[in-house]
Amino acid sequence: MAENGNGTVFGLQGVHIPWVIGDPPDEAEGENTEIAQRGFLLVKVFKKGTYLVQSNWNKRLYFVKRVEGVDNPTLPFEFGHAHPPEFRISTDHNNTFPLPLSPQFSRLEWYQRFIEVGPPQRRVWELYFEYLNGGSLAQLRDKHYQERKRVPEPFIWHVAAELCKALLYCHDGILWDVQMPPPGWRRIYHRDISMENIMLNYEPRYGGRRPDSGNWRNVYPRVVLCDFGSAAVDGDNPAHLQTGQFPYEHQPNLWEDLYELGCVLRSLCMTHIKFPQDEDEPADRVPLAQYKDESQRWAHRPDSRRLDDVNADPVGQPYSEALMRLLKEFEWDSQEQEDVNQINNRDNSVPSKEFVYEALFTSGRFEVGAGKAEPKPAGFYDRYDVSWTRPWGPTPYVVNQDEPARSHRRIRKAIRRDDFEYVGIEMRAVARYRPLVGPPP
């Protein structure tokens, strides 16, 4: 390997993933086949069958999910329907239950399907979604926790409004400006709403002088509900569905989505409160005398805490009474002592659908509208900026040339393909996309 004076490293090996022509081609692929005709460069592996690539044609990044059709799905990357859930419920206009091309849903940019010769023979789909540059809501939460910072209230209102928009379409078929469901619409249940499945994207600011008030796009990034791999629609055969967050829920229902929505919003209000095991001095630790002692961290929160305790903590500016009042509707009796899946807790742990889509959604839209309205004083948006949590720009996957056999097995396991090739690449210094290197004071 060699490096030039500009920080570019030569002599590295990357991974090229070729285009597989579907069978039959005219029915097997999305319309934008030009993005694949030169193949892809592997950029990052998230887990088996889930990875990031760069098109060698247009140099854009795509998030890839590879899934396989089987008769009796048991693994996360398997499905039992004629089409994978992420395709049958997606923005592609050829699918069974289309999602609108709205900012709250990830765009399926292209797909290919093919038969992979066995044994066993597999029906393979590779789905190429748009790349979202802001990372997940879980990453934003964790970075605020590490800094012991409250997530800014304007951002929480924004997340609430955007998630309500997404779920209002899924549950009622209603877009906020169109009050009638589209023809043939059937209710969609996401069933796996978590911070890991909510992504952010920061749009570039338009040209011209930076406003004195700051960049409002860094307070209100795009919020995207992703990963419909566990999703269902009315009338589905439960035997064909992946397990959602609650395996005992054998029939898809609204309760799952509404409860998970409440967990996301309440957790965002708790990033400034340390877990007992993270307190600086052992003498300062105050054990929680409850079943949910927070030993499982975010798996215990937010039900391990009350919102009254959140505002009582001296860190940062307390949240408004309006926000707390609405989110307290998602609290439930004995939440610190019992599991929500106990039969007596299930029905009193979420407010009504009407409350969510009328009171919470209406308040969220009002707060966000007021937050974006001009004029604003100097530095107004800077104090609420969350863009410092944005990940650095990704760089290509680099093969470990010292352990070729092990690297080959690792890549094969990650992308679940044997036809990849090694190619020479050059690596430049990571682009510093974040406008802030740390949280606002």
pLDDT in tens, 206-221: 777 888 999 999 999 9
Rounded to 5 degrees, φ, ψ at 82 are -65, -30
Q: Which of 3-7, 228-232, 291-295, 323-327 has the lowest mean pLDDT?
A: 3-7
pLDDT above 70 coverage of the chain, percent: 91
Residue 33, number of CB atoms within 10 A of its CB: 15
User: Could you tell me if 115 and 123 are in contact, meaning their C-beta atoms sit under 8 angstroms apart?
Assistant: yes
- Name the more confident of 230 and 433: 230
3-class secondary-structure state, position 115 = strand
Say how far apart CA 441 and CA 435 lie, in whole Å: 15
User: How confident is the model at residue 436, as a pLDDT?
Assistant: 61
Element (H, E) at 423: strand 421-427
Q: Which of 6-10, 263-267, 330-334, 429-433 has the lowest mean pLDDT?
A: 429-433
Residue 422, number of CB atoms within 10 A of its CB: 15
User: How confident is the model at residue 284, as a pLDDT?
Assistant: 56
Say how far apart CA 309 and CA 305 lie, in whole Å: 7
- Extract the tokens encoding 19: 């285009």
User: How confident is the model at residue 242, as a pLDDT?
Assistant: 79
Average pLDDT, the chain: 89
User: Could you tell me if 285 and 293 are in contact, meaning their C-beta atoms sit under 8 angstroms apart?
Assistant: no
- Name the more confident of 137 and 76: 137
Query: CA-CA distances (angstroms) from residue 365 to 36, 73, 225?
Result: 39, 40, 17
3-class secondary-structure state, position 399 = coil
Residues whose CB is less than 8 angstroms from the CB of residue 190 and which lie 6 or more positions away in sequence, other chains included = 167, 170, 225, 228, 230, 231, 256, 257, 260
User: How confident is the model at residue 75, as a pLDDT?
Assistant: 80
**In which region does residue 49 sit, left (phi positive, over 0), alpha (psi from -120 to 50) or beta (all else)?**
left
* Domain spanning 137-389: CATH 3.30.1330.10: no
Q: Which of 92-96, 110-114, 145-149, 370-374 has the lowest mean pLDDT?
A: 92-96
Residue 248, number of CB atoms within 10 A of its CB: 8
Domain with CATH 1.10.510.10 in the chain: 137-389
Q: Which of 74-78, 158-162, 205-209, 401-405 has the lowest mean pLDDT?
A: 205-209
pLDDT digits (tens, 9 = 90+) for 120-173: 777 889 999 999 999 999 999 999 999 999 999 999 999 999 999 999 999 999
Average pLDDT (269-276) is: 95
User: Could you tell me if 29 and 437 are in contact, meaning their C-beta atoms sit under 8 angstroms apart?
Assistant: no
Residues whose CB is less than 8 angstroms from the CB of residue 30 and which lie 6 or more positions away in sequence, other chains included = 92, 94, 108, 109, 110, 111, 112, 128
- Report the helix count and the strand count for the chain, using DSSP H and E: 11, 13
3-class secondary-structure state, position 106 = coil
Residues whose CB is less than 8 angstroms from the CB of residue 231 and which lie 6 or more positions away in sequence, other chains included = 85, 89, 188, 189, 190, 191, 192
User: How confident is the model at residue 10, as a pLDDT?
Assistant: 63
Average pLDDT (366-387) is: 95
